[in-house]
Amino acid sequence: MYGSSTQYKSWTFKSDSDLTNLRKEANQNYIEKFRANRPDEECWSHFLTPSEELLMVRDYVWKLSQFCLDFQDPRESRIRMPVPVTTTATHYFLRYYLYNSVMDHHPSYIMHTCVYLACKIEEFYVTINDYVANVVGEHAHKQLVATAILNSELQTIQELQFHLIVHQPYRPVEGLIIDLKTRYPALQDAESLRPAVEEFLERVHHTDAILHYSPSQLALAAVTTAASKLGQNLDSYVTDILFKTSPDMLKTLIDAVRKIKRFVRNSENRGSPSTIAELERKLTQCRNPVNDPKTEEYRLNQARIEQDDEDFGPIVSSVAVDGITDPTADAENNANTDDGVEVLDTTHNNEAKHDHNTDAITVVDDDDGTVATVQHHSHTSDSSSGVVAESVSERRLLAREHQIRQQKQLQDIMPLHWRSDEFDNFENSNIVGGVMGVGLGVKNAGGIVTDGGVIDDDDDE
């Protein structure tokens, strides 16, 4: 149910000012971090302003939509991605830049990370190689782009607070069309509304309306707008059927549909190509080099991360487990004697000589319950025939334990069957007949009554 979802609780906002304040705060945080000794006047000329950032976000939302539309899977000749993938990716993208600056993470990489992540969540299988082929073709930087997308995936999930399920307006639309066929015979061909509904929903997802209104409200706005374009009048359907038992909600819902329509009308207000090009040039000068795959700072940071990952490796493989060690590892392990860390081979009667105190650290492998004991020494140790492992520190052991816990937390959070279970339990009463249920009775519940009647207003296109 949408009313109990993380989308409603964490990503539905009451007013435009809420979004403006969040974006402004993200912009200011970045500037304060990288301004150095620049005076305020120089900061505004060097860094992007909040309004300039928003222009770039808007432009990349359109690019995201166009990329999904043009996407081709070379293995199955599938053209374009499913609409739910585009919708989910757009939600991710807009949510991400509520709390992050485009100067910190370039929208081109975040856009593709959001789309690739949405492919997984919406169960549209595509390999990273096939995906990147749609981004850069067979360009020499293909592997660099793939690495950049994958490297930012977990960080993106964290910024989304692990809220990956997106409730979309397409099911409510289906419910409304079925209800029109069943209970409103005055509309002769409800199916004829679909093209205009799809166009409306595509455009509304280019706007902040999806961060303000429920899927059912968006669906109702789409259906009523589509009917108006076809010269149909749904006033009696809304007043006598949908709201017959809840007339008090009509007034509450007036502003929502009006504002949703206004969002759609303004969705074309993008920056001109020359303006966006100028902002891209400005962004090149002020973006965070650590997050730019083309910089030396990025490569050094990735090398450090990879080195940290490699440091975890010997912790389990080179320790004595239940008094047994792997004799095949002796030759390799004996070659690594960096800083005096030693794992004693208890299968032999070895005598070990240590320069300083020895601390025994016990690590339990969560996967199979085996216990591994590592002897950690402050300085070099000599052993007549023991297995000497690569450098292992107490810090790395603790980091390994933390890594195992994180992996299990992700396994608990990420199963895709959660998504299907959640949608299977979606109650039809939320979208048909009782369309006014949780979906339309939430924050900012919008209305459909206008000056000229219940549905139509003077601003319909």
Listing DSSP states for 278-344 in one string gives HHHHHHHHHS-GGG-TTSHHHHHHHHHHHHHHHHHHHHHHTSEETTB--GGGHHHHHT--SSS----
Nearest Cα neighbor of 375 from 417, 335, 320, 304 is 320
Domain range for 103 is: 2-159
What is the structure's pLDDT at 409? 58
pLDDT in tens, the chain (461 residues): 888 899 999 999 999 999 999 999 999 999 988 887 777 777 778 899 999 999 999 999 999 999 999 998 777 666 778 999 999 999 999 999 999 999 999 999 999 999 999 999 999 988 998 899 898 877 667 888 898 899 889 999 999 999 999 999 999 999 999 999 999 888 888 999 999 999 999 999 999 999 999 999 999 999 999 999 988 888 888 888 887 777 778 777 777 888 999 999 888 778 889 999 999 999 998 888 888 877 888 888 878 877 766 655 544 333 333 433 444 444 444 444 444 433 333 334 444 444 444 444 444 444 444 444 444 444 443 433 333 334 444 556 666 666 666 666 555 544 444 443 333 333 333 333 333 333 454 444 333 333 334 454 545 44
What is the structure's pLDDT at 401? 64
Let me know: does 431 contact 397? Beta carbons within 8 Å.
Answer: no
Contacts 24+ apart (CB under 8 A), 318-322: 318/343, 318/387, 318/389, 318/390, 318/392, 319/343, 319/363, 319/372, 319/373, 319/374, 319/389, 320/344, 320/345, 320/346, 320/372, 320/373, 320/374, 320/387, 321/370, 321/371, 321/372, 322/370, 322/371
Residue 133 lies in a domain: yes
The CATH number given to whatever domain includes residue 154 is: 1.10.472.10
Residue 281 lies in a domain: no
Helix, strand or coil, per DSSP, at residue 377: strand
Exposed, middle or buried by CB within 10 Å (0-12, 13-18, 19+), for 82?
Answer: middle
Residue 168 lies in a domain: no
Nearest Cα neighbor of 361 from 371, 374, 372 is 374
DSSP 100: S
What is the structure's pLDDT at 30? 92
Quote the CA–CA distance of 118 and 176 in Å, as a whole number: 26
CA dihedral sign, ordered 461, 247, 444, 90: negative
Domain total of the chain: 1
DSSP 168: -
Residue 141: left (phi > 0), alpha (psi -120 to 50), or beta? alpha
**What's the count of helices (H) and strands (E) in the chain, helices before strands?**
20, 7
Let me know: does 89 contact 233? Beta carbons within 8 Å.
Answer: no
Residue 51 lies in a domain: yes
Quote the CA–CA distance of 62 and 68 in Å, as a whole number: 10
Quote the CA–CA distance of 319 and 315 in Å, as a whole number: 7
Helix, strand or coil, per DSSP, at residue 58: helix
pTM (two decimals): 0.68
Residue 67 lies in a domain: yes
Sheet containing 320-321: give its strands across: 320-321, 371-377, 358-364
What is the structure's pLDDT at 373? 43
Print burial letters for 137-171: b (CB count within 10 Å at least 16), e (below 16): eeeeeeeebbebbebbbeebbebbeebbebbbbbb
Nearest Cα neighbor of 242 from 427, 440, 425 is 440
Quote the CA–CA distance of 332 and 403 in Å, as a whole number: 25
Quote the CA–CA distance of 318 and 196 in Å, as a whole number: 64
Supply angle C-alpha 8, 12, 13, rounded to 5.
145
Distances (CA, A) of 164 to 21, 77, 155, 167: 24, 28, 13, 10
What is the structure's pLDDT at 78? 66
Distances (CA, A) of 193 to 134, 171, 272, 338: 33, 15, 32, 72
Residue 224, CB half-sphere, CA atoms under 13 Å: how many? 30
What is the structure's pLDDT at 364? 45
Let me know: does 429 contact 437? Beta carbons within 8 Å.
Answer: yes
Print burial letters for 99-109: b (CB count within 10 Å at least 16), e (below 16): ebbbbbbbbbb
